[in-house]
Amino acid sequence: MRGEGLSKVKFAIPKGSLEEATFKILEKAWTKVDRRSRTYRVYLDDPQIMVKMLRPQEIPILVADGLYDVGITGKDWIGETKAHVELLLDLEYGKIKLVIAFPDKHRYKNIDSMIADYAKKKKTLRISSEYLTTTSKFIKQSRSYKKFYGSKDPLIVTPWLRLGTNKNVQIHLSFGATEAKPPEDVDAIMDVTQTGTTLKQNKLKIADKVLESSAHLIANKNSLKDQSKREKIFDIVTLMRGAVQGKKHLHIYLNVKEKNLTKLLKQIPALKKPTLSPLSEKGWYGVNTIILKSDLHKLVPKLRKLAQGLVVHELRQILELEEIKRDEEN
């Protein structure tokens, strides 16, 4: 039996802003997802997978350290924690931008010009963020920072410790509501945004885009070298990739007269080749295929002229088994 001898795979999933979307994709990937109230345990219909909910900020390090074999977290937190993990799959949800913003009354074009002005006036620049290492790295790459401060690290300030030697540029740990900090507490922020609306409501303007992020499936590098765990991890990849692809496609079925068949097939974009089936009525065929959701509105006017009885199904998954097999062999 295929499941015999497999080691249980520990799977960390995010609690918080990514939680709802994560459960939606899990419910498409597995046939049963049991979420016990008031606990952090989640049960799939696969006894070889142990699932626990954790904060997304913690997941990259816990996976890198081997406490979990796989996990779901934002790519922004993978970079922030500098976690040495394998990125397996972009899950294409939880899309955010990490930006630098400061009060809209300022004339500065970006953080670089703000750093230069503060340095010339010998003013201390204070920046608030949850992303301490990402902020420090971005600031140090600034042309003005290099000009005035060289390779010194900005001073990172938390309630527990202080790191860095440059007291003239300080990065203060935010515990939330970062957009409320300026101008009284700090001069600028690095924070996540989707539309920028919250920043505008707090009279802030986006000065720099630092990075874009989405939820990713990650794995511990040593777990991927363990043959029994590797097989189960790629089962997870297969199912979740199938759910990601399923969200973007539709299954359509329609009937067409034989005289219109060639013309119709030229009009239909397909995942691979459409399936054709002769109907019981001579001179008619059934066409069965997968299309991108984004193509449906363009296809309907064409199909109305060439075919009949269009049936459209939402997909649960598209399992690209051949592709995963190649991944495993490589």
Give pLDDT tens digits for 191-201: 999 888 899 99
Label residue 315 exposed, middle or buried (CB < 10 Å: 0-12, 13-18, 19+): middle
Q: Answer yes or no: do 130 and 77 share one domain.
A: no
* Number of structural domains found in the chain: 3
Indicate the pLDDT class of residue 143, thresholds 50, 70 and 90: very high
Per-residue pLDDT of 59-78, as tens digits, reads 999 999 999 999 999 999 99
Q: Answer yes or no: do 207 and 160 share one domain.
A: yes
Q: Answer yes or no: do 77 and 128 share one domain.
A: no
Nearest partner of 183 among 168, 208, 203, 164, judged by Cα: 203
Quote helix, strand, coil % in the chain, to nearest 5. 35, 30, 30
Instruction: Look at residue 4 and tell me if it is in a domain.
Output: no
Instruction: Look at residue 170 and tell me if it is in a domain.
Output: yes
Q: Answer yes or no: do 122 and 201 share one domain.
A: yes
Instruction: Look at residue 1 and tell me if it is in a domain.
Output: no
Give residue 30's domain range: 9-94+215-246
Cα–Cα distance for residue pair 96/94, rounded to 1 Å: 6
CATH number of residue 254's parent domain: 3.30.70.120
Q: Answer yes or no: do 259 and 227 share one domain.
A: no
Per-residue pLDDT of 78-104, as tens digits, reads 999 999 999 999 999 999 999 999 999
Give the CA angle between residues 179, 180, 184 to the nearest 5°: 120
Indicate the pLDDT class of residue 322, thresholds 50, 70 and 90: low
Q: Answer yes or no: do 86 and 104 share one domain.
A: no
Average pLDDT value for the chain: 91
Instruction: Look at residue 303 and tell me if it is in a domain.
Output: yes
CATH number of residue 239's parent domain: 3.40.190.10
Amino acid letter, residue 161 = L
Q: Answer yes or no: do 308 and 169 share one domain.
A: no
Location of structure tokens 């794995």:
219
Nearest partner of 190 among 112, 97, 100, judged by Cα: 100
Per-residue pLDDT of 253-280, as tens digits, reads 999 999 999 998 888 877 678 889 999 9
Q: Answer yes or no: do 76 and 28 share one domain.
A: yes
- Between 320 and 239, residue with greater pLDDT: 239
Give whole-number Cα distances, 264 to 258, 287, 299, 308, in Å: 10, 9, 10, 11
Instruction: Look at residue 3 and tell me if it is in a domain.
Output: no
Question: Which of 212, 233, 259 corresponds to the end of one domain?
Answer: 212
Q: Answer yes or no: do 238 and 208 share one domain.
A: no
Q: pTM for this structure?
A: 0.87
Q: Answer yes or no: do 54 and 202 share one domain.
A: no
Q: What percent of the chain has pLDDT over 90?
A: 78
253-292 residues labelled b (16+ CB within 10 A) or e (exposed) = bbbbeeebbeebbeebebeeebeeeeeeeeebbbbebbbe
Backbone angles phi, psi at 289, to 5 degrees: -155, 170
Amino acid letter, residue 323 = E
Q: Are 62 and 220 in contact, with CB atoms under 8 Å apart?
A: no
Q: Answer yes or no: do 151 and 295 share one domain.
A: no
Per-residue pLDDT of 144-197, as tens digits, reads 999 999 999 999 999 999 999 999 999 999 998 999 999 999 999 999 998 888
Q: At what angle do helices 19-29 and 227-248 cross, to 10 degrees?
A: 100
